[in-house]
A = this chain, B = another copy of it.
Amino acid sequence: MTPTHCVSLLTDYGLEDGFVAACHGVIAGISPQTRIIDITHLVPPGDVRRGAAIMAQTVPYLPSGVHVAVVDPGVGTARRAIVIADGERVFVGPDNGVLSWAAAGPGLRAYELTNPELWLDPVSATFHGRDVFAPVAAHLAAGRDVASAGDEIDPADLVTLPAPARSVRDGGAEGEVLTVDRFGNVQLSITGADLDLIGAHPGATLAITLGRRSLTVPYGETFGSVPPGELVAYTDAAGCVALAVNSGNAVQRLGLPPGAHLRLTVAR
């Protein structure tokens, strides 16, 4: 590929150790001109689904380049390491689904990382972020062709995570809790477009059914659409419906873990 000046990194390595810095160092050594953007390193250990969701929501705002995701509980086992080329974007990581929501278009090309010339030598059994994924990403960012990374494989054979539950039926939008952010805002798999389909527009009141519980919530534009301390639904910056408490914490208020199912309708 054309030399690129951006490699982004998402891992579950945490920030207490030198693991992330070792990856930065390897990249900077191979491709000194490359900018490194840390997506996050605080994915909960081994939470592939959370890593996949953050990748999918963040990468569209990053420059074209090489995007690396290492949430890799199977490191050192038979799971494949892969690179996926998706137009101007290149993804590098383990073949466990962590890339499957971000690299989801048609026209993908995929390669297994089988060319050790692009790796550090020796390769440890437990730190492929440093020894395999970072150096491969740096070589690609420096201009090596993606095909040099290894054997081409069929994109249809890549491991994919099941999409979050989401449907519109019987006049309601159904889905699940995707993530909770630092502010305690609860992001749903239901989108603003789904609410449009059931005739719910900002200004409406939504009825939310959560198992046996139900409540009504105003559908606003932003947190400040309701007084402090009150619950509001809105379409968030990723296009998803989210629940928030203005100047408060919705996940504490509602007790909604990731994966919890909800049904939204327009309140009469």
* A residues lining the B interface (CB < 8 Å): 5-6, 8, 10, 12-22, 24-26, 28-29, 32, 35, 37-42, 45-46, 54-55, 57-58, 61-63, 73-77, 124-127, 130-131, 179, 181-183, 221-225, 234-237, 242, 246-247
Contacts and interface: CB of A to CB of B under 8 A. Distances in A.
A26 B59 CA distance: 10
Which 3 residue pairs of A and B lie closest in terms of their CB atoms, listed nearest first?
Answer: A76-B222, A18-B58, A14-B182
A32 B224 contact: no
A127 B237 contact: yes
B181 A16 contact: yes
A17 B17 CA distance: 19
A141 to B, nearest CB: 13
Tell me how many chains of this kind the complex includes. Answer: 3
Contacts of A237: 124, 126-127, 130-131
B223 A28 contact: no
B224 A25 contact: no
B181 A61 contact: no
B181 A21 contact: no
